[in-house]
Amino acid sequence: MAPSSLCNILLLFFLLFHHVNLSLQHKHNSTSFSLSFPLTPLSLSSNNTSKMLLPSMVLKRNPSPPQQRRTSSYNYKLFFKYSMALIVNLPIGTPPQVQPMVLDTGSQLSWIQCHNKAPPPTPSFNPSLSSTFSILPCTHPVCKPRIPDFTLPTSCDQNRLCHYSYFYADGTYAEGNLVREEFTFSRSLFTPPLILGCATESTDPRGILGMNRGRLSFASQSKITKFSYCVPTRQNRLGSQPTGLFYLGNNPNSVGFRYVEMLTFGQGQRMPNLDPLAYTVALQGIRIGGKRLSISPAVFRADAGGSGQTMVDSGSEFTYLVDEAYDKLREEVVRVVGPRIKKGYVYGDIADMCFDGNVMQIKRLIGDMVFEFEKGVDVVIPKERVLADVGGGVHCVGIASSDKLGAASNIIGNFHQQNLWVEFDLANRRVGFGTADCSRLGK
């Protein structure tokens, strides 16, 4: 979710909620379509990646007559050193300026950089160059303290314009004005003006593409009925540049996908620990090395207070489990590789199942991990991808306790979405999974 690969769960001053269902359209004729974008997992640390970003591209739009307008697709592909944030570069404004944004299915508000404080060549959006840019006044309904399913700290600045502040769990933040702007995919294909954040202060040079089910997310405002992405395999070799694919609309690879129902929550189900606009699924159990852990399926579902929901989140790097599930998993890992665990070591204050011994041997001992869903749908994590290389010769199981986040949810992060198609079918309220060689697809 966020400008830190470890703090991808957005914690707002007030909880930022999310939902609805909206789709990209021609300016004069609404139509369904598909677009594909290479996705690049990217380190969010500006010191080792900002120098690798291409400068902003400005493309002129020469609209063709309405009768000649047709569905078109734009491909953007950038190479970065691998980390676990998924960055897609999107053309914004008229004429378009390409902006790097973190693809985040766990947040609602999309925002872009609108200041020049980031070191070049990190691109920053220049509002003065766009003829379709406008700022929301304080009188706009979105700027009110509370509206249904969307709560964001807003205020009036000295110019009576709508100011917002967005804070993250790791102490990073973004603040600026709420604005309207178009995403321009080609001369004939662009969104209507969407409400975005235009950050004038932030601690990271990239923006966020909010893709949850909230009515102000990109997915909702642009009327997308489905989208999908394929996360490439993490590479540890210096200079490796894996990319994956991101589709808005139909995915030509979806024939073999297996689907699970998306759990939804009504307006009357506001619970303190529930995120009603996340992509919530019914996880049934977890297997490690062929052994099914003795965890009740109820642990993976929201209880009366909302704790325990299981969500699929592209913006979270690792997977997080509530303590009842995490303790069982850790107990099994300790049973099979206990003496090899690096004692007293916790990576990033979250991961405490870490090793600095023979990695291949440890992977064999742990074996494959499987997430079991309803209808017999299994997501298999091969033993080769159970451990994350965290540097310094240390490898950690990519799972942590959600209690360390101050959350009460089960979160399937993008580390466990490698070499998977993950499709969010909003129209049919379901999530699809399909195996793939995502690194090859992104070439």
Task: Write down how long the chain is.
Answer: 443
Can you give the C-alpha Rg of the chain in angstroms? 21
Distances in Å between the Cα of 7 and the Cα atoms of 15, 109, 203, 378, 404 are 15, 16, 13, 27, 11
Concerning whether 104 is annotated as a catalytic residue, the answer is yes
Point out the catalytic residue in the list 170, 204, 275, 313.
Answer: 313
Cis ω before 121 (30° cut-off from 0): yes
Nearest one of 142, 317, 326 to 216, comparing CA atoms: 142
In whole angstroms, what is the distance from residue 6 CA to residue 8 CA?
A: 6
Decide: 408 and 419 in contact? Cβ < 8 Å: no
Q: Between 323-337 and 359-366, two packed helices, what is the crossing angle to 10 degrees?
A: 120
Q: Return the amino acid letter for 307.
A: S
Point out the catalytic residue in the list 104, 149, 275, 425.
Answer: 104
Concerning whether 323 is annotated as a catalytic residue, the answer is no
Termini Cα distance of the chain: 25
Contacts of 214 (CB under 8 A, 6+ apart): 16, 17, 18, 19, 20, 108, 149, 150, 220, 277
Decide: 55 and 123 in contact? Cβ < 8 Å: yes
CA geometry: angle 428, 430, 436, nearest 5 deg: 120
Task: Tell me the catalytic residues.
Answer: 104, 313
